């Protein structure tokens, strides 16, 4: 029996794998805005998952898939941080969402609140990737927040760990507050 009504555990999925990723930095800046008592960590598993294959999605699941689904199931909310690759979200993120979306109807992702952020080098601030991420997550059964936050010209958007654009920083903080106030999945 628990009286928990809103998320206390946030799993973070970052769509860029490169070491100096601006999306990874945006994810860390967002995590820093979470209130005390919220446990958040960036998953390393999206990079280790095989390509989604329905033939693999049976009794004898690849270990990375089992571990990833367990990790998603242990979270109350997701934070998805996406770059824009050729006008959409990158394959590594889409693949992770595809694995987390099954078994259909009883997937760990079902009903889970999700915040979507996106950083891109162009001033369009990953708008298409964010829109696509929201659509994909909704179809996958999750519950994305109505608004997303974009960071444009992202390679010059940080002073150390801090976002230089105050408006973006405030929007990220507000989104994090909203995420952890959402009702839990039923």
Cα 111 to Cα 36: distance, rounded to the nearest angstrom:
24
Residue 43 interacts with ligand FMN (CB under 6 A): yes or no:
no
Q: How far apart are CA 40 and CA 10, in angstroms?
A: 5
Phi-psi region of 105 (alpha: psi -120 to 50; beta: other; left: phi over 0): left
Residue with tokens 């298409």: 128
Query: What dihedral angle (degrees, nearest 10) is formed by the CA atoms of 130, 131, 135, 140?
Result: 0
Least separation in angstroms between CB 25 and ligand FMN: 8
Among 130, 154, 172, 182, binds ligand FMN (CB under 6 A): 154
CB of 86 to ligand FMN, least distance (A): 5
Indicate the residue among 82 and 101 with the shorter CB distance to ligand FMN.
82
Beta carbon nearer to ligand FMN, 21 or 95:
21
124 binds ligand FMN (CB under 6 A): yes
Of 120 and 137, which CB lies nearer to ligand FMN in the complex structure? Answer: 120
Binding flag, residue 150, ligand FMN (CB under 6 A): no
Of residues 55-114, which lie at the interface with ligand FMN (CB under 6 A)?
83-87
Site membership for ligand FMN, residue 121 (CB under 6 A): yes
Task: Closer to ligand FMN by CB, 52 or 128: give it.
Answer: 128
Q: How far is CA 71 from CA 12, 118, 123, in A?
A: 10, 22, 34
Residue 77 makes CB contacts below 8 A (sequence gap 6+) with 7, 9, 10, 11, 112, 113, 114, 115, 179, 180, 182
Q: Which of 1, 4, 5, 18 binds ligand FMN (CB under 6 A)?
A: 18
Give the interface with ligand FMN as residue ranges (CB under 6 A).
16, 18, 21-23, 83-87, 119-122, 124, 154-155
């Amino acid at each position: 029996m628990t009286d928990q009504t809103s998320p206390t555990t946030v799993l973070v999925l970052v769509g860029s794998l490169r070491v100096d990723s601006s999306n990874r930095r945006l994810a860390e800046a967002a995590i820093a805005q979470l209130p005390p008592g919220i446990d958040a960590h960036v998953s390393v598993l999206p990079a280790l998952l095989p390509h989604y294959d329905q033939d693999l999605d049976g009794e004898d699941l690849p270990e990375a898939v089992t571990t990833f689904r367990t990790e998603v199931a242990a979270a109350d909310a997701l934070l998805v941080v996406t770059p824009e690759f050729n006008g959409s979200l990158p394959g590594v993120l889409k693949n992770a969402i595809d694995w987390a979306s099954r078994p259909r109807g009883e997937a760990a992702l079902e009903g889970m609140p999700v915040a979507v952020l996106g950083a891109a080098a162009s001033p369009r601030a990953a708008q298409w990737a964010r829109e696509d991420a929201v659509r994909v997550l909704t179809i996958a059964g999750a519950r994305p927040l109505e608004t997303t936050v974009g960071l444009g010209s992202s390679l010059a958007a940080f002073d150390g760990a801090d976002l230089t654009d105050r408006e973006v920083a405030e929007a990220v903080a507000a989104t994090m507050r909203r995420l952890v106030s959402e009702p839990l999945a039923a």
